[in-house]
A and B are shown apart, each in its own frame.
Chain A
Amino acid sequence: MSKQILISDPTLRDGNHAVRHQITKESFAAYCAAADRAGVPIVEVGHGNGLGASSMLVGECLLTDETILRTARENLPRSKMAIHAIPGFCTIQRHLTMAVELGVDVIRVASHCTEADITQRHIDFARKNGKEVYGVLMMSHMASPEMLADEARKMEAYGAEALVIMDSAGAYLPADVSRRIGTLVDALGIPVGFHAHNNLGMGIANSVAAVEAGATIIDGSARGFGAGAGNAQLEVLVAVFKQMGYETGIDLYKMLDAADLAEKQMIQSMPYISSTSIVSGMSGVFSGFIKQVNSIGAEHGVDPRDIFFELGRRNAVAGQESLILEVALGLKAVKALAGAACA
């Protein structure tokens, strides 16, 4: 029997990062319907940082969580609807309860890669309500394979039914992925998944490395629509897995149609590996910072690449967007001092 890969599609969640969380209701409806027709097993929707994250700090979403979930549900008759839930942004009472009432199927409870402890109550709530629940470790390059396994074991103990690691900064090379996924597969009794970012052009290669190391869940976005340089391109993943003899259950032609629709309907600029994306990957800083780093850098006359390397030096993680301005102002001051000294 050929190996089955479960595809989870975050186009309508991670892609929201790429358009400052401005995906329209019509786009949610159209892409959900197209992905459903293609047989995409899981479609993840919401603000880029997940349920409850719409805010001044990380970006205000065009639509409310409720509108997104209702729209997606109406257009996903077969595919499972998933949400990204980061405790802190996403509360149980206000957000998860609503998501359950609106028919969410898969709750992906996420934390920074060394903070799995914060996910226990959310995972517990999802299980009690009969929902599938995945544990997600973000910025996973910041932890060793052994530490990731320790954190993943916590999520498994809390009741997570699968464990996904995110290469949030697009920092991995295939060998990094193989070591981490291999360690997790050995350590856990639940399926392991991988979520790539393409900062170093490794999105597809890293996803393949993950599968070869034992991952059975792979995230991919149409046209790679996602934060920074984007995610692993979903229609390419489907084609590559087909070539490799893996089953995804997705109709290739209909997936290509869905990707065409995504490009036409909501992708204002195609994800590409910009200079800052490369630096984001090299410095290991969350890809979602790119738009803010670029704009703050331009505003204060600081090279965004310098900002990224300094953020990387400070181990900045998602949710610390306020640090971008601090770093930019610091670099600006240093530059001014250096200028004054030379004068």
Chain B
Amino acid sequence: MPEAIERSLRQDCHASLDILPGLSARLSGHRIAVIGGTGFIGSWLAETVTALNDDLGCKVRIDLLSRHAAAWLAAHPHLDREDVAVQSVDARSPFELARDTTLVLFAAGYADPRMHASNPHQVFETTVHGLGHALAVASRLELLQRFVNISSGLVLGDVPGDQAMSETRIGALDFTRFHNVYAEARRAGESLVAAYSGQYRIPASTARAFTFIGPYQALDAPWALNNFMRDALSGNDIRIHGDGTTRRGYLYGSDAAAWLLKLLLDGKDGEVYNLGGAEPASHSDVAAHVAALTTPTPRLVHMSKPGLAGRNHDFFPDLQHTHSDLGVRAAVPVLSAIERSMQWHARRLGVTRRLREDVASR
């Protein structure tokens, strides 16, 4: 990874950690296991742990357990270090954790809707059976301080209205249709955590993820903002579906990692916390921002006439509970998050010429 990218990631990690005074000192000495550890969240946690250790003298160890261990290490050699242990594990089968593990994060699963559509069986197995294996092994850890399950805001189902989604306002979900298997599996996962928490008194909490943005996310992931960035960086028009008013709340990777570390330390037993961006931004607004960062400026093409798509697909969290209980805040606002993501992707793809000159040089 080019030095400029590493430097930029490190700065982001510190910006997010700086908002949470005392967090770094309290993390010192912990050993964190992340199941499903080479995805977006695991990668950002590894970056954050190395920032804590290198620059703040913390002694944190992180174990990343994943089916893609070798490929991830090959792609990110700067994270091939002693304090980042990467282990090849498929969560669908039982596995073990280091005995001195103190914090466990279950981040396995498939956020990609293409996978939900093509292989719902595997989605269910990883989400539910994988979580079951993680809870079972965590329950045997003598030093365990907290288990956090990363769930999804999709468990909230169909909630009418265009307001922020709170943890407790749960709507209907047709569990008989295969396209709801992912959300239903996440619901089952939350029930499983409740069972372990209630029956075995495991200190467990749940983080409900909404929308993330940032480096380590695949540019071809089928989410609107990623598609806008891909279109722009490949020199094409930016195509917006629907009327562009649909809103998402984006949380940048370094903020997500810092929030999860805080949750691992300070989460309450049995509590659910929303994890996402506080400022909802419309598809039209983020597309316009992507276009403004690109040269030559791509056209914004609306693929359907306003009003024809017609339905509200807003998806952003109410963060009141998360903010008040954990005291977390985002360090990287959405527009900066988009700019950083564009820079990261452009550098990795070798297309910085497509960024506006002042953006490319920042």
Contact = CB atoms under 8 A, between A and B. Distances in A.
Interface of A: 1, 3-4, 116-117, 120, 124, 127-130, 132, 146, 150, 153-154, 157-159, 161-162, 189-191, 216
B231 interface: yes
Q: Give the interface centre of A4, A124, A130, A162 by most chain B CB atoms within 10 Å.
A: A130
A189 B309 contact: yes
B76 interface: no
B234 A158 contact: no
Given A153-B117, A157-B117, A190-B241, A128 B220 contact: yes
Contacts of B118: 117, 120, 154
A128 B230 contact: yes
A157 B114 contact: yes
Given A117-B118, A150-B178, A189-B309, A161 B236 contact: no
Contacts of B239: 132, 161
Contacts of A129: 234
Contacts of A127: 220, 227, 230
A302 B234 CA distance: 57
A189 B242 contact: yes
B231 A157 contact: no
B7 interface: no
9 contacts: A128-B230, A154-B118, A157-B116, A157-B179, A158-B117, A189-B313, A191-B308, A216-B304, A216-B308
Interface in B179-233: 179, 220, 222, 227, 230-231
Nearest to A124: B220
Given A127-B230, A150-B178, A191-B308, 7 more contacts: A120-B118, A128-B234, A130-B236, A130-B237, A157-B114, A161-B239, A190-B309
Residue picked from A3, A4, A157, most chain B C-beta under 10 Å? A157
Contacts, number: 64
Nearest to B237: A130
Contacts of B231: 130
A157 B230 contact: no
B353 interface: no
Contacts of A216: 304, 308
A162 B241 CA distance: 10
Contacts of A1: 305, 307
B227 A130 contact: no
B362 interface: no
A189 B234 CA distance: 25
B171 interface: no
Contacts of B113: 157
A191 B303 CA distance: 9
B311 interface: yes
B290 to A, nearest CB: 14
A158 B116 CA distance: 10
B114 A191 contact: no
Contacts of A190: 241, 304, 309
Contact of A189 (B177, B179, B237, B241): B241
Contacts of B222: 157-159
A10 to B, nearest CB: 20
A4 B305 contact: yes
Contacts of B177: 146, 150
Given A153-B179, A154-B117, A189-B311, A161 B305 contact: no
- Among all A-B residue pairs, the 10 with the closest Cβ atoms: A130-B236, A157-B117, A154-B117, A157-B113, A153-B179, A191-B304, A157-B114, A159-B222, A158-B114, A4-B305
A45 B58 CA distance: 64
Interface in B233-275: 234-237, 239, 241-242
A52 to B, nearest CB: 23
A120 B220 CA distance: 13
Contacts of A162: 303
Residue from B220, B235, B308, B313 having most chain A Cβ neighbours under 10 A = B308
Find the residue from A124, A129, A150, A189 having the highest chain B CB count within 10 A.
A189
A250 to B, nearest CB: 16
Interface in B287-337: 303-305, 307-309, 311, 313
A153 B180 CA distance: 11
B221 to A, nearest CB: 10
A154 B115 CA distance: 9
A16 to B, nearest CB: 28
A1 B303 CA distance: 17
Contact of B114 (A120, A132, A161): A120
A342 to B, nearest CB: 53
A132 B117 CA distance: 21
A157 B113 CA distance: 5
Contacts of A191: 303-304, 308-309
B234 to A, nearest CB: 6
A153 to B, nearest CB: 5
Given A161-B303, A189-B309, A190-B241, A130 B234 contact: yes
Contacts of B116: 157
A120 to B, nearest CB: 6
Point out which of A3, A129, A154, A161 has the most chain B C-beta atoms below 10 A from its C-beta. Answer: A154
B179 A150 contact: yes
Nearest to B220: A128
Identify the interface centre among A116, A128, A161: most chain B CB within 10 Å of its CB. A128
Contacts of B307: 1
A144 B21 CA distance: 58
A196 B11 CA distance: 58
A216 to B, nearest CB: 6
Contacts of A158: 114, 117, 222
Which of B179, B220, B227, B234 has its CB near the most chain A CB atoms (within 10 A)? Answer: B179
Nearest to B116: A157
Contacts of A130: 231, 234-237
